[in-house]
Structure formats: C-alpha cells, structure tokens
Amino acid sequence: MPDINPFVIFMASIFTNNMILANFLGMCSFIAVSKEIKTAWGLGQAVTFVLTGTSIINYLIYHYVLVPFNLEYLRFIVFIILIAAFVQLVEMIVERYLPTLYYSLGIFLPLITVNCAILGVSLFMIIRQYSLIQSAAFGVGSGIGWTLAIVALAGIRQKIKNAPIPKGLEGAGITLIITGLMALAFIGFSGIVSVQ
Amino acid sequence: MINTIKNIFSLGVFKDNPVFRQILGICSALAVTNLLMNSVFMGLGLIFVTALSSLTVSILRKYTPKHIRMMVQTLIISAYVIIVDIVLKAYFPAMSEALGPYVGLIITNCIIMGRCEVFAQNNPPFTSFIDGVASGSGYALVLLVIAFFRELLGFGSLFGINVLGENWVNWVFMIMPPGAFFMLGVIIWLANTYIPTKDGKAPAAGGGN
C-alpha cells in the first residue's frame, strides 16, 4: 500500500492527474454535455456524488468479499453492477427526500452508469492499492476535477458559439482541440504534486 | 449476402465510423494510443468483445424482456471483457500491465453498447456478428492511425523499432495527453472533410454521446 497522504491524492486527482485531461476518462459525456455551463455543472455534481459513493462501496466489496473468496477476476462485473445499483438507489432516495436536487440532477443520473470515469476510478484504486481513506480522497478529488474540467469547457464553448470555425472542425473536432489546450494548461500544475 | 457484408463494413469502418463520426469510445482511443503495440491489442480486444457481444445479444434478443435488456447487455459485455483480461494476463503480462485499467474500461466503451442496442437488438445473429466486427475494425483503424503518428513523432519509432534515426528530436508533447486530443481533433476534421457520410450530405456538427 503506497504511503501517500490522502490530501495529496485529493489535490493530485483534481489538478495533476485530472480524470479527463490526464487519463481521458469520461470523455463521452464530457463532449456531449458541455454545451452549457448549467447542465455541465449539474452533471459534474452528480458525477462527484456517485464517484464518492461508489469508490467507497467498491473498495469495501473488493477487499472484504472478492479478495477473501479469490474472486478478484469477477471485479469488472461486480463493479459495474454495484455502480448501476448505486445510481438507481441514489435516484430513488433523492427523488423521495430531496425533490429540488432531483430536478437539477434527475436526468443526469442514469447517464452516469456508463460514464467511464466511475468505473475507471474503481479500477485505478485497485491497481494502485489505495487504502480506504486514500480511495475516498481519490473518489472525491476525481469527481471535483471532472466537474472543474467540464464546467471550464462549457464556459469556453459558450464563448466561442459564434466564432467562425472551419466547417469540418465544428462540434466534436473543435471541442477536442479546446480540451487539448486545457490539458496543456493543466500540465502547468504538474509541479505541485504528483502521484502515479 | 456478400453485398450486405460489404455494405456493413463500409458503414462501420468509414461512413459511420464509431470514433470520428459518432464520437463513441474515445476514452480508450486516446489513452492507449501512445504506442502502436498497445493500440493493436486494444483494437483486437475491442473487435473480439463487440463481435461476440453483438452475436450473443442477437441470439438472446427474443428471450430478453425489454425493460431489463440494458442490464443483460452489460453482463454479456462484462463476461467477454473478463475473458480478454484473463487471456492478456496469462499470455501477455507486459501488455496487461501497460493497458492497466483500460482493459476493464472496454465495458463502458459506448461502441459496444451502442451496436448491441441499435443493431443486434433488431437483426439476426450472423449480420450482428459482422456488424460487430466492422464497428470494431473501424475503431481499431482510427486507433492505429493515431498511434502511428503519436509513436512516430513522440518516440521516433514504430512498434518499438527506431525508424527516424539518432538525430530525431522526440516531440514529447505527442506522448502527453494534449497531443492525443489534438491528434483526434485533426483526424475528425480530416474525416469530416474527405470521407462522405452515410446519406452523402455534409456531416452534422456536434458530437452525440
């Protein structure tokens, strides 16, 4: 188990090891849902929430159920089912008790099951052998980092809405180029902390 | 029959290519393309999973209740991904190490789910299988193109063999994440400009999921 301060992991997963800009995870919704800041912010919140929950649950299930029974190879199936179940559960609870939150997150929750960032965080924390606290810090940090990236991208896309872009580059093309520039900017953070 | 197969391939590989036309599955398209060898394995893995999941979903399509079909598809896909993971671990441990979590992330690769949902759900097993192979090949092709340029410019080598000689200065930038984003952006641009779309019209702007 690596001896890294959870706070370092937290900061690293926001800035230097950002899920999108360094690990390319969660790109699908990143490109599709980044046309407006408001929706990007909603999705970001939902992702952060689910990431925090699933990283803890998946950690517990992996280390206290799968490892004792030598079933590590089943982790893909188990993780994806747990993520789907967690998303479903959160949707029901939020709908019942926090209706205002439900209306702002509602439509995004089902989308999240297939967001690669969620499964990616669970797989990364297993490969890097994080402890429970480290995994939780990694989950929250990754969620915040993802939110930061998607809200920033949505802001830029709103600004360039009327810019004259070459025909073939419109839409996904220019979005990827902007993401590339953002990734370049984030490399500037790499001096602060680094975690591999 | 031959015509159908040809048609499916031309759609899956060029006109309706999952990566640069439908903007699907780009997480792994960007992550593993710093080396050609990684991309070859990723491409083969994805072709295998897409083809067999489409086949299985298509065989089971009449027995799967509509409202749980997503769950069934996810389970089928996960099962094949586990096979890929175990085979890689057993026979190519170095490659398994290099690809890391991205093997497991084939599950959330939207291409597979997309083909199962759009095509395999409504078509007989054999055509679904071919469709899976075609979409997987389209994905693998784009991966290889990106990896070719990234490895060539970033390391001066192809498949680990140095081709640009001693005096080549590596473009470290190409191996880093921004290089991947720019490469894919440029490929989408070129594809939109030079490859005709399904209905011959100019490609629609804006990426779907």
Read off the pLDDT of residues A32-61 as tens digits, 9 standing for 90 and up: 777 888 888 888 888 888 899 999 999 999
What pLDDT sits at residue B209? 35
Domain that holds residue A43: 6-191
What pLDDT sits at residue B203? 47
Arithmetic mean of pLDDT, A122-148: 89
Residues of B in contact with A167 (CB under 8 A): 192-193, 202
Is A74 in CB contact (< 8 Å) with chain B? yes
pLDDT tens digits, one per residue of A76-103: 888 888 888 888 888 888 788 877 777 7
Rounded to 10 degrees, the C-alpha dihedral A62/A66/A70/A75 comes to -70
Indicate yes or no: CB of B108 within 8 angstroms of CB of A119: yes
Whether residue A196 is contained in a domain is answered as no
Q: Please, which residues have CB within 8 angstroms of residue A188's CB and are 6 or more apart in sequence?
A: none
What pLDDT sits at residue A107? 64
Instruction: Report the amino acid identity of residue B189.
Output: W
Is A8 in CB contact (< 8 Å) with chain B? no
Indicate yes or no: CB of B105 within 8 angstroms of CB of A123: yes
Average pLDDT, chain B: 83
Average pLDDT, chain A: 84
Whether the per-residue pLDDT at B208 is higher than 50: the answer is no
Percent of chain B topping pLDDT 90: 12
Total structural domains within chain A = 1
Whether residue A1 is contained in a domain is answered as no
Q: Please, which residues have CB within 8 angstroms of residue A149's CB and are 6 or more apart in sequence?
A: A18, A19, A20, A21, A30, A182
Q: How confident is the model at residue A105 (pLDDT cuts 50, 70, 90)?
A: low
Of A22, A73, A120, the CB nearest to B101: A120
Whether residue A142 is contained in a domain is answered as yes
CA distance A152 to B116: 33
- For chain B, the structural domain boundaries read 15-194
Q: How far is B2 from chain A (nearest CA, A)?
A: 33
